[in-house]
Each structure stands twice: as C-alpha cells, then as structure tokens.
Structure 1
Amino acid sequence: MRNPLLRPRALVAAGAAAALALSAAACGDSGESDADLTWWHIQNQDPLMSTWQEFADDFAAENDITIDVQAIENQAFKDRMGTASQSGDVPDIFHTWGGGVLAEQVEAGLVQDLTGKLDCIDQINPIALEPYTIDGKLYGMPFDAGVVGFWYNMDLFAEAGISQPPATWDEFLAAVQALKDAGIAPIALAGADRWPGHYYWTYLVMRTVGLDGLEAAAEAGDFSGEGFIQAGEMLADLAAMEPFQPGFESAVYGEADGQSAVMGEGLAAMELMGQWAPQAQRDNSGTDGPENLGFFPFPTVEGGAGTTTEWLGGGNGYAVAADAPDEALDFLCNFMEPENYSRAITEGNLTPVAADTASVAPELNEDTQKVVDALASATGTQLYLDQAYPPAIGGVINEATEGLILGQLTPEDFVAMVNEAWAAEA
C-alpha cells in the first residue's frame, strides 16, 4: 500500500474550515459494551459534547438501538485508538484525521470501505474527501477542514509596540523579543502534549525546503538535507529565547491552566494552532477570550523555498469499523443532515465541508472566516506530520521536537531519530 497524503492538496480552495480538538480530561476506559453502536469522538467539551450526545440519543430512539458515546480528550484518544488498533478491536465509529494513521488501520483490516455506501456523500465537497481516500477508495467521512496559523492577541501586540504581524522569521524573533521586553509571555505552548510543538518544526521545514522538498524527503525516508538541520537550528534558537509561558513543559493543551486557557486569559500573546483555537480558548479559560484576536500565517524564511500560502493543516472526520453494522453508516449520514450539520456549525463554530456551503452556513463568524480566507488563497497544504506519516514516524517527530525545544537534543540528533524511524518502517 502506498504511503498516502505525504502532501495532500485536499484543503486547497476547499472553502471549509473548523474546530478539531476541544480538550479536557478523558472519559473512563471503554471496556466491553452491550450497545448496538460504539462511538469515540474528541468533542469532549460543551457545547459540542452535548450536541453530539443529542445526535446519538435522537438517532438511537428513532432506530430502536443504543449507542455508547465516549467523548475523549485529543491525546488520550490517540493513545486509546493506538491500543485498540493493536488489539484489533476498534469502536464502530471513531474520529480520524486521515493520512498515514488511517492507512495503517486500513491495511490492518480494521476500517470499512465506504465507497458507494454513504447516501449523503454528494452533500460533501469532493476535495474534502481526499485525506480519507486511500488507493482510490473512501475510508472516512469528513465534517471539517482547516489550517494552522498564529492566533494572536492584538492588544498585547500593541502594548509591546508591534504594529503588524511579522512576515519573516527575523521579524518574528524581533516580535518575540519585543513582547519579552514588555513583560509579556510571547507564546503559549502545551509542551507536555508534544503535538503542538511539532507544528513549529514542520512549518520551519516547509519554509526552508518547501512542500516539494518535504515530500521528496518523506518518499525517500531521509531527512538529512541541510534544510532539515536548519529548521532544527532555528527552532532551537527560538527555544533559547525562552518565549513560552512559565511551566509550559508540563502544560497540556486543554486544561484550565493549559495552552488554550493561557491564550484565553490573555496571559500570552500568541499560539500556533489550528482552526479550533478561538473556541478552545473560550472553553478552557472560562472567558470570552481575547477581545481582539488576529490570525497570521507562519513567517517565511530568508532563502527558503516555502511561501506563506503553503499551509499546515487538516480536517476531522469519522471512520467506521470493518465489522460495524449498517446503522453506523446511517448515523454518519444522519449527522450530515442539513438541520443537524447546520446546528453543529453554529454551536461549535465549525465551518462546513458541504458541497453547498450556503445551504448549511449562510453566515460564518469572524474567526472562522479568517481560516476560510486562508484556504481560499492557499497554493499548497501539508497534513499534520503525526497523522500524515505512519504512527511510528509521527510519534518520533513529536518526541524529537519536544527534546529539541527542551534543549535535550541537537538538530542533528533530531534528524538521526527520524531517519532511524523511517529505516525501521521500511
């Protein structure tokens, strides 16, 4: 099986974006269930946690079945799905980001081929289906897509004398220093979760070698090129400036004192995060979030091959277990019924992957529109590396990024770890 989506272009001009990981503590272990359907998802905070539960309850009542719904925090979900996949016993419906992780699940025979089985598929923008399409067959149904960029507190930028978002890496470092000089934590980071940190290294690689260079290196399983070392050096230089909030090493993304809450409370000036960030800032801080929240692309690197119109990003969808009953497919289409999907968009600040956006979202909120505009101007996209690549590779990238940020690894160590992981996967 080919390694899919090393550089998926599914997000380009998709006109869709949304919220992927509202986080908090995970529910308990799943254990055995006598329910007709089991559903694992990551919308583990209200409003969407309650909305998802109502969708399940209504469908169960209408079809005289029971649905065991488990809302699980992002990282805990990944851990539990890894264990479930290894055991060969996955829930009937489960969250997926597509890419290499889904491909491994498909290769293991755990995921149902949905090609031609979903009556609602014509309601979805075909471009949004690409991250879930492997060897020409569909293995997941998306419900949103978006990009990662810097969300920033415009009031804190102004307080530090920064008049406009930085466009180059040198300008970014200067902004970080200006914020530090003003006594403001420049960046919120969930160091303990690892996956938020990997966005920095990935983007720096995208800016130094470009998407073509990243794709070629992944195809070869060799990240030894100069641009990859340079990206590590640049991230190490940033970390040496101590730009992150106090205690970032033990902070997770979604708890009351985590990355999103720090942003929501105005205790840091910016975070590099996906389209779900504004809602997560509000949810996890218990506030209305920054009054003036801006968004800008990851800066360019002088002499690098990448541009600010090339975005890191991805979407969210659901896959179905190979042995799931037909009701699982019916439930996915019920989820996409215009009345239900429109409600999800409104209550969760999602933006649609619908073929006819106006039919489900005639008006988008300001933050969502910023992401939609970014997608509309995108010339290329890269799926999060911890999802695009096989889990063994993505996990090492996350781990190595943490080591680089904490000063425990050199850029050369980083590359060596990733190359060894690729060699072991071959």
Structure 2
Amino acid sequence: MKKVSAILLSFMMVLVLLAGCTGGSKDKQESSSTPAATSNEGTNAETNVYPENGLSKDEKVTIKVGFWESGAGRAWMDLAVKNFTAKYPNVSFDITATPTLETILEPKIASGDDKEMFDLFFPKFSAGGQFERLVEAGKFEPQDDLWERDLPGETGKKLRSVISDDAYEGAKASGYTARVPVGGYTAGLFFDQNLFDQKGWNKNPGTWDEFVALLDQIKADGVIPITFPGVYAGYLTDYVFNLIQFDLAKSNGSFDTYLDNFRNYEGAQYTTEENKEAWNRLYEFGKKGYFPAGVAALNHTQSQMQVLQHKAALVSTGDWVGNEMKESTPADFKWGFMALPATNDADQTIFVNSGVADVGFVIWKEKPDLTKKWAKEFILSLYDFSIQEALATDAGTYPGRLDYGDDPARIGKLQPTQAAVMEYATKHKIQYLSFRRNFGLTSAESGQAGKLVSEMITGVATGKKDPVPVLEQAEKLIQKAIEKDRPKQ
C-alpha cells in the first residue's frame, strides 16, 4: 500500500473536468441578496462572525456560478454546495450548469456588463488564448492568499502543503494565481483487459517494437487497433503521440533542456527532431491502417463505444472515460491502461499525460468584495476530504490533494480507470507530464499555427498527409507569435 500511495502522490494534480460531455441543466437556489439588518454596536457585532474567516453570519450573499458539466458530472459539485450552505446558511448559489459553458461565457464577457457576469466559474472558452488574455488584462481576482490558508477543519495545515510543486508553479505561471487546482487527470490508451486476455494480446508492451507487434496482432485478428474522436482529434496527439517527443529527449539525454525549451518557448517548437519523429510514427501508423475508416466523423463517445463493443482494441482518451461511459459499460468489461514506450530500451521512462493547473474556478474581479471573499471560501472548501473523495467516487478523477493516498480506504474509492493507471504504474518506469507553458501566446499567428496542426491530425492518421511540411509552416507562424508575446524582461 505504501507503494500505491507513493504512486498516487506522484500525480501532478489539477484539472478535474476534461473531455467529454453530459446533459446540461440550470439550477437556481434562490435567496435574498440584500444584507440582513445587523447591529454595528456592542458585543453582537463583534461575535456574530465565523471564527475561521471573520465573515459576518448575518449578511446574505448569493454567488452566481458558471459550472462546466463535463464527463465527470456534477454530483461532487452538488455535494460541495450542500455542505457549504449547511455550514454557512447565509450563503446561497445560483448555478448555471452546461457542457457548453463557453457559449454563455463568451457573450457575457463580450458585453462588458460586470453585473451580469458570473461571480465564480470555470474558464471554458472556445477561442485559443482567451484565458491568457483575460489573465493579462487583470480580469480575474487573485487567489494567492488561499495558499497560506488552513485547510477546512485542519488547523495549521496549509493548502500549499498538499499541492504538488508542478501544480503550484503552473497555477502561478501567469504572475498571479487566477485559479487553484481542485483535481487532476491522466490520459492515454484505455482498453478491456478481459478482451486482451481472451485474445492473448500483450497488455503491457515495454518497448516500441512490442507495441507495434501488438497493433499488428490486433489488426490481424480483425479488430481496429486504435480509435479516437476525429471530431476532437487532439485526443490522439495530446493524450498519446505528443508524449513521444519527451520520451525520445529522455533517451538521448537532453530531457531537461528539451522540457525547459518547451515550457518557455525557446528554440524550435514544432520542428524539433523529436517532434518530427513522433509525427512520422503517427503517419506510418496511418499508412498501416491502424485507425478506423471514417474516423474524422467520430465524436468522443462514439470512439469510446467502439472499445466497449470490441470493435476497437484501444481508445485514446482520459481517465474520466469510466465515469462518462458507466451506463454503457458491460458487466464483464474491465478497464485497462497503457502509454507508449517510445524506444526499445526495456528500462526506459514512459511519459504519461497529466493535467496540471489546467482547470479550476476563477473569480471575476469586478464583483463586490464580500461576494469575492465568499467565493474564495467556497473554493477552499473543495479541499475537504469529503469533497476530494466525491471527486474520486462520483467524478472519476484524481483528487487534488497530495495526501489523499495516505489513507488506504480513500484509495479504494478510486474508480476502475484510475485504478488501471495505478496498476500500469507499478509495472513500468513512468513519469507524469503536463503540457503547461510558463506564459501564454495570444497573437493571431499562434492560433493560426495551432489550427494548421490540429486540422492535419486526421489526415496524418489515415496516411493521407505528410506532417513535416505542415509542421514547418506552423513553426514559422509560432516563432512570429513568440517574438510578439514573450514577456518583456
């Protein structure tokens, strides 16, 4: 169990809610937003406050929340609100929950009406670089003071002490803490262990040649080796093939420099030899027919269903898939996980995608001070173990607290997909890696470069498009963006 706990502690937590969607809804818990009559004189004014935060018990506040209802669902959020309002009955919530939050957020921001804007929300945008632009414009309330706050019910234990260094650095990368990490995820290739056992397929390839041999065997058995949602083609690159470049850099001894260049936009970005090799391998897989015909039309649930129905062996997705597809998962289906071993060294480090500081609640700066203070109290309340356990049990995500694994009973509440990742980690030398950068690119050229690369994924995966010319074109654009957007010293 110590080994399992250590593995869990190594995860770089942040994001709880990633890819996939469920139904949307709008919830409203009504209460007066008018402060109750209070006395500013005598003992009552001095004692009628909450001792842990000094806020008044009498002033009523309603927090307007924009909640991104992704594949992780909202049960954990409903529990958090229930617990918070029971503890602080003067606070209520007006929640708008939807899987397409960006369609509501972006018009609100564009209108410039701060009164109509959400007080607290997930920064889910369709436009690339929008979060960075809002951070730089100072539109979010800084949450830096939360790091040194005591955790709920744990006097003397600070929030910072239970958050990984990488998550902390990622949260502060923009100069101030616009959001703190609530939970995290891992991503890669998920499959049915029972099918693999039945077919005699290798569940734990340790080298590149073993992985390719596995795909050849699967294809020979009449099953699609790998599927992914062509509608959201980044599932294939971000969660699987983009990790190859770091594997290769690790194997040739240049990993630290390579990662530093990546984080800080130094040197080539798309056209490093390691990245071109990763894309060429994807291209070769496409020419071998390892991906589904018509993959460009598949969405995430359709591609995941192909694995549940044994039409495909592996699906590129995140560990939220078990929660997202639980209603469709057969009783005899057992989730498994693997990542790509990029070299033929059996002792190599295998990199696994991990979300760090990608998603969390932000607070709109132009709001009443009292509302912002209570919004911060709510964010802090999400680190209570009852909510962290709900993230594991109900949302199917890794909780954000590093000390979550200290209790074996809490580990037992992880869902099957998270357990599968942990099982894989016991059999391989793995390193969790986020794709966070130390500053954002907001210039039009950056968006153009990203669009070029994104739009070629399905063409490369079907063996119809050579990736290198596109990477070279994208490199020219991103270098222009870097020149414009690099922070001035």
TM-score range, shorter chain: 0.7 to 0.9
Give the secondary-structure state (helix, strand or coil) at the position aligned to 1:138. coil
What's 2:189 paired with? 150
The Cα shift of 1:246 comes to: 4.5
In structure 2, the partner of 1:368 is: 418
Structure 1 residue 71, shift from structure 2 partner? 2.6
Q: How does 1:9-408 map to 2 (within 5 A)?
A: 13-14=10-11, 20-21=17-18, 23-24=20-21, 27=24, 36-44=62-70, 48-53=73-78, 55-56=80-81, 59=84, 62-72=89-99, 76-77=100-101, 91-95=118-122, 102-117=131-146, 119=149, 122-123=158-159, 125-127=162-164, 128-134=167-173, 137-199=176-238, 200-210=240-250, 211=255, 212-213=257-258, 215-216=260-261, 218-254=265-301, 258-283=302-327, 286-288=328-330, 291-302=333-344, 307-315=348-356, 316-324=359-367, 325-326=371-372, 327-357=374-404, 358=406, 361=410, 363-365=412-414, 366-372=416-422, 380-384=431-435, 390=441, 392=447, 394-407=450-463
SS state at 2:205 partner: coil
Task: Measure the CA separation in 2 of the matches of 1:261 and 1:189.
Answer: 10
Within 1, Cα distance between the matches of 2:211 and 2:378? 46
SS at match of 2:10: coil
Higher relative contact order (CA 8 A, sep 6+): 1
User: TM-score when scaled to structure 2?
Assistant: 0.69
The aligned amino acid for 2:351 is E
Max radius of gyration: which structure?
2
Q: Judging changes above 3 Å, is the alpha-carbon distance between structure 1 residues 110 and 16 closer, same or farther for their aligned structure 2 residues?
A: closer
**How many residues are treated as equivalent by the alignment?**
403
- For the residues of structure 2 that align with 1:27 and 1:386, how far apart are their CA atoms? 31
Name the CA shift for 1:29/1:235 in 2 (closer, same or farther; >3 Å).
Answer: farther
Distance in structure 1 (CA, Å) of the matches to 2:422 and 2:343: 24
Q: When the two structures are superposed, what TM-score results if normalisation uses the length of structure 1?
A: 0.78
Opposite residue 206 of structure 1, the aligned amino acid is F
1:190 Cα deviation after fit: 0.5
Code of the residue aligned with 1:153 in structure 2: it is D
Match of 1:3 in 2: none
**2:245 aligned partner, one-letter code:** V
Structure 1 vs Structure 2 CA RMSD: 4.0
Between the aligned partners of 1:191 and 1:149, the Cα distance in structure 2 is: 16
CA distance in 2, matches of 1:135, 1:341: 26
CA separation of 1:130/1:84 partners in 2, compared to 1, >3 Å: closer, same or farther? farther
Q: 1:317 to 1:371 in 2, by over 3 A?
A: farther
Give the C-alpha shift of residue 191 in structure 1: 0.7
1:348 Cα shift? 2.3
Cα distance change of structure 1 residues 82 and 191 upon mapping to structure 2, 3 Å threshold: farther
CA contact (8 A) 2:173 2:438 kept: no
> What runs of 5+ residues in structure 2 fail to find an aligned partner?
1-7, 28-32, 34-60, 152-157, 483-489
Unaligned runs of 5+ in 1: 1-10
